[in-house]
Amino acid sequence: MAANLIGTTGNWGIPQDEDGVLITDLGFSYSNQEKMVLDKGGEITGLSLYQEQIEAKISGLVKKDSPFAGKLGASLALANAIPTHLNTSGGTTVITQIERSLNNEDFEKIDITAKHYPFVTTGG
């Protein structure tokens, strides 16, 4: 049953499942490199922020029909939009880690980690 939201609320749940995964958790972590300019006394007088990237973490259950089949190093097309906290749009999301787990009294689980590089394009 879908959630019945009453009153002033925030966004609820995950908008859609990803290909081959019934999502239970989805997160995006934004980061960049930084280089500080210090004066002769060691005080910060300037700052450069560069190499923006987003790490996406997806956790869920492997679908029985059409299970997740992505490979390490392959690009990942996300069904859920990456929130726009970077200064640019576009780029490529690359799978960096896949973990699958089995249990004798549970469903097959999967955890996928991918990094989104906003200035990297697929193709040549």
Query: Which residue range forms the structural domain that includes residue 42?
Result: 21-117
**89 has a pLDDT exceeding 90:** no
Residue 108 lies in a domain: yes
- 3-class DSSP assignment, residue 13: coil
Residue 5 lies in a domain: no
Residue 31 lies in a domain: yes
Q: Count of domains in the chain?
A: 1
**87 has a pLDDT exceeding 70:** no
Task: Give me the pLDDT at residue 79, please.
Answer: 87
Task: Give me the pLDDT at residue 13, please.
Answer: 78
Residue 10 lies in a domain: no
Residue 104 lies in a domain: yes
Residue 115: left (phi > 0), alpha (psi -120 to 50), or beta? beta
Residue 11 lies in a domain: no
**124 has a pLDDT exceeding 60:** no
88, 53 in Cβ contact below 8 A?
A: no
For residue range 14-71, what is the model confidence (pLDDT) as tens digits? 878 888 899 999 999 999 999 999 999 999 999 999 988 899 999 999 999 999 999 9
Q: What does the DSSP assignment read for 47-84?
A: EEEEEEEEEEEEEEEE-SSS-----TTSB---SSPPP-
Mean pLDDT, all residues of the chain: 88
20, 76 in Cβ contact below 8 A?
A: no
Q: Which residue would you say has higher pLDDT here, 6 or 41? A: 41
Residue 1 lies in a domain: no
* Strand pairing class (44-62; 109-117): antiparallel
**123 has a pLDDT exceeding 80:** no
Task: Give me the pLDDT at residue 15, please.
Answer: 79
CB atoms within 10 A of CB 118: 18
Amino acid residing at 10: G
Task: Give me the pLDDT at residue 3, please.
Answer: 76
Question: Cα 58–49–43 angle (5° rounding)?
Answer: 130
